[in-house]
C-alpha cells in the first residue's frame, strides 16, 4: 500500500496535514488551565456540527463502538426492550451489543440495501401501548451497504405513535459529512467517531445527549464507569477528564470543527453530494449498480457497488492494494464478496475522487470484467466539470 495515495475506505479517512500536525503536540498537563483551551472549544465545535443548542456533548477516548456503549449504558436498565432493524453490518453489531448487555431486542430484519422501515417501526410502537420499548436504535448511514435512512421521518413516526421511547442514532459515518440535525430531528443520543467526517485518526467517540436522555441517565442501572456521563460532566466542570484524555486528538478535533465550520456545513454537504454523484455516475457507466435499493437511499459518504453474479468482489480490493497501492473497502457480512465499497467522505476533492475511480476501473479491466477503460472516469468528469472552455481556448 502506498502512503502517497489517498484512501477510499469509508473510514478512517484521509487526514489533512494541518490536522495531523495539530494532533502531533508536546505533552501538556491535562489538569492545567491550558487543557481547557482545547477541551471546551472542541466540545462547542462538535455541538455546532451536530446542530444542537440543547444537547449535552461528551467526548470519550474510544472509537464509535464506544459511543454505542455509552448511549446504552447511560440510558437503559437490565432487561429493557429496544427496537432495532438489522439492515447492515453496523446495525447488526449494535444489536449484538444490546444482547450482550442483557437487553431484549425487538429485531426487524430488513434486506441489506434497504433503509430503516419507518412505517413498520410506527406500527410496532403504536401497538406497544404499555411502553415496553424503552429505546429505538437507528443507524443513520449504514456503512456496509451505502444506505442512508430517514431519521427525521422516524422521529415523526415515534411522535405520531405517541410513544415515549428514546431515539438513539448511530451517526458515525454521516455526521460531519451529511446533514444531521440533532435538535430539529428530536434525537436523544447521537454517536459519532473522529475517524470519519471529522478527518482525524480513530480514537474519539463523540456522544450527544438530549435533556430527556440525561434524565434517563439518572435512573439507568446498566453498569458504567469509563462511560459515565456523570463522571465526565464533573470532569468538564473542572476543565479536566475523570481519567487521562487523548489530548492530541482533542486538539485535532478542535481544529477539525473549525475547518468544517469555516468551509460552511452546507458547502461540506454539497461537496460530499457532488463527489458521490460522480462516483455513482462512474458505477452506472461500468454497467453496475449501488447496493442501495433506490436513489433516495444513496449515501453521500460511501457507495457499495454490486459486481456481476458469481464474481468475488473482494478480489477488486485485493488487486487494487497489491498492484496499485490503493485502498477500497470490502463487502461485510451478508454482502461479503458481493460488493466492494468506495468511501468518499472527509478530506476529499473531485480530483482525488477521480484517482480512485480510475484505479478501480483499471483493476476491473485487469480482472476481466466487462468494463470499458475510461468510461467511469469520463462519466465522473461530466459531473465534476465546473464550466465551459474559455473563448481563447476555443479560438486556439
pLDDT band at 3, cuts 50/70/90? Answer: confident
Give SS3 for 269: helix
Residue 11 lies in a domain: no
Q: Are residue 90 and residue 66 in the same domain, yes or no?
A: yes
pTM confidence score: 0.95
Residue 8 lies in a domain: no
The per-residue DSSP string of 38-104 comes to HHHHHHHHHHHHTT-SS-EEEEESS-HHHHHHHHHHTT--TT-EEEEEE-SHHHHHHHHHHHHTT-E
- What range does the domain containing 370 cover? 265-384
Q: Are residue 90 and residue 228 in the same domain, yes or no?
A: yes
Q: Are residue 245 and residue 272 in the same domain, yes or no?
A: no
CA distance 369 to 308: 8
Q: Are residue 322 and residue 180 in the same domain, yes or no?
A: no
CA distance 205 to 89: 19
Q: Which residues pair with 86 in a beta bridge?
A: 109
CA distance 156 to 295: 22
Residue 12 lies in a domain: no
N-term to C-term CA, the chain = 42
Residue 327 lies in a domain: yes
Q: Are residue 336 and residue 244 in the same domain, yes or no?
A: no
Q: Are residue 213 and residue 350 in the same domain, yes or no?
A: no
pLDDT 10s digits, 162-175: 999 999 999 999 99
CA distance 222 to 65: 17
The per-residue DSSP string of 168-233 comes to EEE-TTTBTTB---TTTTT-SEEEEETTTTT---S--EEEEE-HHHHHHHTT--S--STT-HHHHH
Crossing angle of the two packed helices 265-285 and 247-263, in degrees rounded to 10: 80
Q: Are residue 222 and residue 241 in the same domain, yes or no?
A: yes
Among 262, 281, 309, where does a domain finish? Answer: 262
Domain count, the chain: 2
Q: Which residues pair with 290 in a beta bridge?
A: 305
Residue appearing with cell numbers 502506498: 2
Residue 251 lies in a domain: yes
Q: Are residue 212 and residue 340 in the same domain, yes or no?
A: no
CA distance 74 to 188: 12
Nearest Cα to 45, choosing from 274, 199, 245? 199
Q: Are residue 203 and residue 278 in the same domain, yes or no?
A: no
C-alpha cell at 106: 425487538
Among 237, 262, 287, where does a domain finish? Answer: 262
pLDDT 10s digits, 327-379: 999 999 999 999 999 999 999 999 999 999 999 999 999 999 999 999 999 99
Q: Say what the pLDDT of residue 390 is.
A: 47
pLDDT 10s digits, 104-150: 999 999 999 999 999 999 999 999 999 999 999 999 999 999 999 99
- How much of the chain, in percent, has pLDDT values that exceed 90? 96
Q: Say what the pLDDT of residue 391 is.
A: 47
pLDDT band at 312, cuts 50/70/90? Answer: very high
351-366: b or e for each residue (b if 16 or more CB lie within 10 Å)?
ebbbbbbbbbbbbbbb
The per-residue DSSP string of 110-135 comes to --BTB---HHHHHHHHHH-TT--EEE
Q: Are residue 83 and residue 221 in the same domain, yes or no?
A: yes
Which strands, in side-by-side order, build the sheet including 133-139? 56-60, 205-209, 189-193, 166-170, 133-139, 81-86, 104-109
Q: Say what the pLDDT of residue 40 is.
A: 98
Residue 393 lies in a domain: no
Give SS3 for 342: strand
Q: What is the CATH number of the domain that holds 323?
A: 3.90.1150.10
Q: What is the CATH number of the domain that holds 202?
A: 3.40.640.10
Q: Are 313 and 339 in contact (CB under 8 A)?
A: yes
Query: How would you classify the pairing of strands 329-330 and 302-306?
Result: unpaired
Residue 390 lies in a domain: no
The per-residue DSSP string of 10-22 comes to SSS----HHHHHH
CA distance 180 to 61: 22
Residue 395 lies in a domain: no
Among 221, 246, 262, where does a domain finish? Answer: 262
Amino acid at each position: 500500500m502506498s502512503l502517497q495515495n489517498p484512501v477510499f475506505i469509508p473510514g478512517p479517512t484521509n487526514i489533512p496535514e494541518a490536522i495531523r500536525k495539530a494532533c502531533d503536540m508536546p505533552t501538556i498537563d491535562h489538569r492545567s488551565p491550558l487543557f481547557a483551551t482545547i477541551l471546551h472549544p472542541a466540545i462547542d465545535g462538535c455541538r455546532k456540527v451536530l446542530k444542537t443548542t440543547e444537547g449535552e456533548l461528551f467526548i470519550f477516548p474510544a472509537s464509535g463502538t464506544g459511543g454505542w456503549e455509552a448511549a446504552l449504558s447511560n440510558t437503559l436498565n437490565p432487561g429493557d426492550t429496544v427496537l432495532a432493524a438489522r439492515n447492515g453490518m453496523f446495525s447488526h453489531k449494535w444489536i449484538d451489543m444490546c444482547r450482550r448487555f442483557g437487553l431484549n431486542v425487538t429485531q426487524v430484519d430488513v434486506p441489506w440495501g434497504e433503509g430503516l422501515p419507518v412505517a413498520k417501526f410506527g406500527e410496532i410502537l403504536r401497538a406497544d401501548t404499555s411502553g415496553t420499548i424503552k429505546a429505538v436504535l437507528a443507524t443513520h448511514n449504514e456503512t456496509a451497504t451505502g444506505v442512508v435512512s430517514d431519521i427525521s421521518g422516524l422521529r415523526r413516526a415515534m411522535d405520531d405513535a405517541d410513544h415515549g421511547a428514546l431515539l438513539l442514532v448511530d451517526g458515525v459515518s454521516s455526521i460531519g459529512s451529511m446533514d444531521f440535525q440533532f435538535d430539529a430531528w428530536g434525537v436523544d443520543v447521537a454517536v459519532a467517531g473522529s475517524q470519519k467526517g471529522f478527518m482525524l485518526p480513530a480514537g474519539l467517540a463523540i456522544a450527544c445527549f438530549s435533556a430527556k436522555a440525561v434524565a434517563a441517565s439518572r435512573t439507568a442501572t446498566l453498569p458504567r464507569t469509563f462511560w459515565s456521563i456523570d463522571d465526565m460532566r464533573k470532569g468538564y466542570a473542572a476543565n479536566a477528564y475523570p481519567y487521562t484524555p487523548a489530548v492530541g486528538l482533542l486538539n485535532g478535533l478542535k481544529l477539525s470543527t473549525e475547518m468544517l465550520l469555516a468551509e460552511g456545513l452546507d458547502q461540506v454537504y454539497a461537496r460530499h453530494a457532488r463527489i458521490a454523484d460522480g462516483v455513482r455516475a462512474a458505477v452506472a457507466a461500468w454497467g453496475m449498480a449501488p447496493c442501495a435499493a433506490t436513489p433516495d437511499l444513496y449515501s453521500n459518504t460511501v457507495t457499495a457497488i454490486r459486481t456481476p453474479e458469481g464474481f468475488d468482489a473482494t478480489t477488486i480490493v485485493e488487486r487494487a492494494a497489491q498492484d496499485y497501492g490503493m485502498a477500497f473497502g470490502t463487502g461485510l457480512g451478508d454482502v461479503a464478496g458481493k460488493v466492494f465499497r468506495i468511501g468518499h467522505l472527509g478530506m476529499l476533492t473531485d480530483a482525488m475522487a477521480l484517482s480512485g475511480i480510475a484505479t478501480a476501473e483499471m483493476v476491473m479491466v485487469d480482472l476481466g470484467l466487462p468494463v470499458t477503460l475510461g468510461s467511469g472516469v469520463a462519466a465522473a468528469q461530466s459531473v465534476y466539470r465546473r464550466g465551459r472552455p474559455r473563448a481563447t481556448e476555443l479560438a486556439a
